[in-house]
Chains A and B, each alone.
Chain A
C-alpha cells in the first residue's frame, strides 16, 4: 500500500492528513499555527508520525503542502507538490461530496466561494481587500464580549432577538456592537447578531450575482461554529452541510493531488531537527527588484522564494 501526506498551513491553524491509496485518512492532526508556521509544522509532523506505524511511514510516495505558508514549508520538508488552497479545498470537497455545487469557505484570515458544476470548478472568488467577515473578526469580537470562541454557539442558541449589525465593514460592525451593548442589549442577542453579520457580509461579497445551487458545503475554521452555520441556513433557506472533518478538507485535497502525480519515488516525512531561519531581502540583481525570501538550514542557504530569475539565487 502507498501513502500520501497533505499539509495545510493556514494563518490560524495547521492541518495535516495521511491517506492511503483509497483516500482513507489513516492519520490526521489539527493544531494552532500561532504565527509560527515552521514550529507548527514541526509539531504537526511529529504528531502525524506518532499516530502511524512503520509500514505507513516507509511507504510515502507523495507529500503536498497548501495554505498561506505552503511555499516555505513545502521547500523545507521537500514536498513534491505545492498548490494553492482554493484548488486543494475544491479537490478535497469534491471527493467527499461528489454532488457539491457551492463551497462556502471561511477561514481565519480569508473567505472564499467556489462554484462547482458537474464536479468541475467553474467559478471562484476570494476576499481581496479586508478581513471583515472572517474568523479573525469573530474571535476579536468574542474577546471584546469576554467569551471564548467556542462558547459562541451556546449564546447563539439562547438568543431570541438577534440585533442587526452593519455587515459591510469590520469597523462599522464594531461601532454598531458597542452602541448596542451600551443600550443594554443582551449578550446572546449581540452574539447572534454577530453570526448574522458574518453571513450577510459573506453573501454581499460573494453570492450577489451568482447562482447558488444545492448542495452547499460549508468549511474552514468558522464552519465549526454552529451559530454561523445555522445563520447561513436561515438566510439561504437551504440545507448547509458541514463535514465532521471540514477543517481537514484542504489537507485531504492536497494529499489527493499529491497522489494524482503518481510518483514512484519514495519520500520521507520528517522535519529535520535543524535550525531554520528566514530572511527577506530586496534583490538588486536586476531592475526587477524582487523581494526574495531566503530560507536557511543551519545557516546554509536551502532555497529561495520570490525570485524571478537566477540572479536572486546568490
Chain B
C-alpha cells in the first residue's frame, strides 16, 4: 500500500489533498494529510536540519518527518525560486541518509522548472492508469480551485475589519476550509464562490475607515500562520485592515507574467530583479504607499537572502516617503512576547501619526 504525504503551507495542503484525491488509484494508494505546523513538527525538523538553513526548510522537513512517523512512504515536494529550489534534494538526503527512513521522495520540480511530462511520469507511482488527459483535466480544476481559495480568503481578509463579531466570520471560514476538500467540479467552484461571497457580505455592517496595514516579505512566512506567529490573524482580530499580495495563485499563475511590469514599477529603486520575492516586496510596498496605507510590516525568516536584498531598499523608501515600515525576522526560537511588543508599539505609532 502506498501512503502518500506532502509538506504543509497554511491551508493550501487542502488543495493538494483535493488534487491527489482525484488522481490516485484508491485501491493501492492512500493519502495522509500532513499535520499543521506546530512546535512539535518544528522540533523534528530543526534537530536534523543544517543550522543556518532558512527557516521554511525546517518547517517543511518537520512536517515530512512527522508524516513518515505516522506511516507515509511516499513524499511529494516541490520547490523553486531561491534556495527553496534545493529543498527537495537536501531533504531527501537527510530523510534517507541521516534518518535512514525507507521512503520515496518525489520532486516535481526539475532545475527550478516544472516539467509537466516528467512530473506526470513521477505521479504515475500513485496510479498506474493515470493518463495525460486525466492529469491535465484535474490540474485545471485544481488551479481554478486554488483561485477560489485565494479569492475567498483574500475577501475575508479585506472585509474582516468591517465585521463586528469576528467569531461569526471564523465559522464561515471553517465551513469553507472543509469545503475545499470536497469541491470537485468547475460548476461547484462557481456555485461556492457566490455562496461564500454572499455569506460574508451579509455579515458586514458598516464600512468605515480603519487603520490599514500591508504585509510583505518572504512567501512561506506570509502564507503559513504558525511560522509568522499568527501575525496576520492577530491584526485582523484587532480590527485593522490587512493587505497581503502574496498568495499561492499569485506565485504560481500570475508572477511570471508580470516581471517586466514589476521592474518598471520599481523604477528609481531597482534596475534588476533581486531574487525570489524580493522585487515584489519593494514593488508592493510602493503600491501600498500609493493606496494610502498607514504602514507596512516586512517579515522574513532568518537567512532569507532575497528579502535581505530588499531590506536596504525598503529602508530607503521608508526614508523617502517618511512611511513607517517595520522589519521582523523569524527564527525557530523566537518568543511571541518580544514580537507582540514590537507589533503593539508599531500600531501605537501608526495611530499616533494618524491622530496628528
Mask for B330-356, Cβ within 8 A of A = 1, else 0?
A: 000000111011101110110011001
Partner of B344, one of A83, A122, A288, A291: A83
A115 to B234, CA, bound (A): 26
Q: Which residues of A contact B352 (CB under 8 A)?
A: 120-121
Partner of B353, one of A83, A86, A120, A306: A120
Does A124 touch B at the CB level, under 8 Å?
yes
Is B39 a contact of A282 with CB atoms below 8 Å? yes
B349 to A, closest residue via Cβ: A121
Q: Compute the total of residue contacts between A and B using a CB distance below 8 Å.
A: 65
Which residues 215-262 of B sit at the A interface, judged by CB distance below 8 A? Answer: 226, 230, 233-234
Does B322 touch A at the CB level, under 8 Å?
yes
Is B324 a contact of A123 with CB atoms below 8 Å? yes
Mask for A109-121, Cβ within 8 A of B = 1, else 0?
A: 0000000001111
Mask for A69-92, Cβ within 8 A of B = 1, else 0?
A: 001000000000001111100000
A129 to B303, CA, bound (A): 13
A124 to B325, CA, bound (A): 10
Is B342 a contact of A83 with CB atoms below 8 Å? no
Q: Which residues of A contact B38 (CB under 8 A)?
A: 287-289
Give the interface SS of chain B, mostly helix, strand, loop or mixed. helix
Is B341 a contact of A84 with CB atoms below 8 Å? yes
Does A146 touch B at the CB level, under 8 Å?
no
Does A184 touch B at the CB level, under 8 Å?
no
Q: Which residues of A contact B328 (CB under 8 A)?
A: 128
Is A124 a contact of B349 with CB atoms below 8 Å? yes
B318 to chain A, nearest CB (A): 8
B336 to A, closest residue via Cβ: A306
Is A86 a contact of B329 with CB atoms below 8 Å? no
Is B345 a contact of A87 with CB atoms below 8 Å? yes
Does B40 touch A at the CB level, under 8 Å?
yes
Q: Could you say which of A84, A122, A288, A306 has the most chain B C-beta atoms within 10 Å of its C-beta?
A: A84
Is B342 a contact of A126 with CB atoms below 8 Å? yes
Is B336 a contact of A87 with CB atoms below 8 Å? no
Q: Which residues of B contact A120 (CB under 8 A)?
A: 352-353, 356
A128 to B345, CA, bound (A): 14
Q: Which residues of B contact A129 (CB under 8 A)?
A: 329
Which residues 275-313 of A sit at the B interface, judged by CB distance below 8 A? Answer: 282, 287-289, 291, 306, 308
A69 to B, closest residue via Cβ: B337
Q: Which residues of A contact B40 (CB under 8 A)?
A: 289
A86 to B349, CA, bound (A): 9
Contacts A83-B348, A84-B348, A209-B315 given; does A291 touch B342 at CB 8 Å: no
Q: Which residues of B contact A83 (CB under 8 A)?
A: 344, 348
Mask for A96-137, Cβ within 8 A of B = 1, else 0?
A: 000000000000000000000011111110101100000000
A68 to B335, CA, bound (A): 12
Q: Which residues of B contact A282 (CB under 8 A)?
A: 39
Does B264 touch A at the CB level, under 8 Å?
no
A279 to chain B, nearest CB (A): 17
Is A128 a contact of B36 with CB atoms below 8 Å? no
Is A68 a contact of B349 with CB atoms below 8 Å? no
A126 to B336, CA, bound (A): 15
Q: Which residues of A contact B315 (CB under 8 A)?
A: 209
Q: Which residues of A contact B36 (CB under 8 A)?
A: 287
A289 to B324, CA, bound (A): 32
A282 to B, closest residue via Cβ: B39
A129 to B349, CA, bound (A): 22
Is A85 a contact of B353 with CB atoms below 8 Å? no
Which residues 189-238 of B sit at the A interface, judged by CB distance below 8 A? Answer: 226, 230, 233-234
Which residues 161-212 of A sit at the B interface, judged by CB distance below 8 A? Answer: 209
Does B131 touch A at the CB level, under 8 Å?
no
Q: Which residues of B contact A128 (CB under 8 A)?
A: 328-329, 338
Contacts A83-B344, A209-B319, A308-B230 given; does A122 touch B349 at CB 8 Å: yes
Q: Which residues of B contact A84 (CB under 8 A)?
A: 340-342, 344-345, 348
B64 to chain A, nearest CB (A): 17
Is B35 a contact of A287 with CB atoms below 8 Å? yes
A287 to B233, CA, bound (A): 15
A119 to B337, CA, bound (A): 27
Partner of A122, one of B324, B337, B340: B324
7 more A-B contacts (CB under 8 A) besides A68-B341, A282-B39?
A: A71-B337, A83-B344, A87-B345, A121-B348, A122-B324, A124-B345, A209-B319
A sample of 18 cross-chain residue pairs with beta-carbon separation below 8 angstroms, ordered by A number, consists of A71-B337, A83-B348, A84-B344, A84-B348, A85-B341, A86-B341, A118-B356, A119-B356, A120-B352, A120-B353, A122-B324, A122-B353, A123-B318, A124-B346, A126-B342, A287-B36, A288-B230, A291-B336
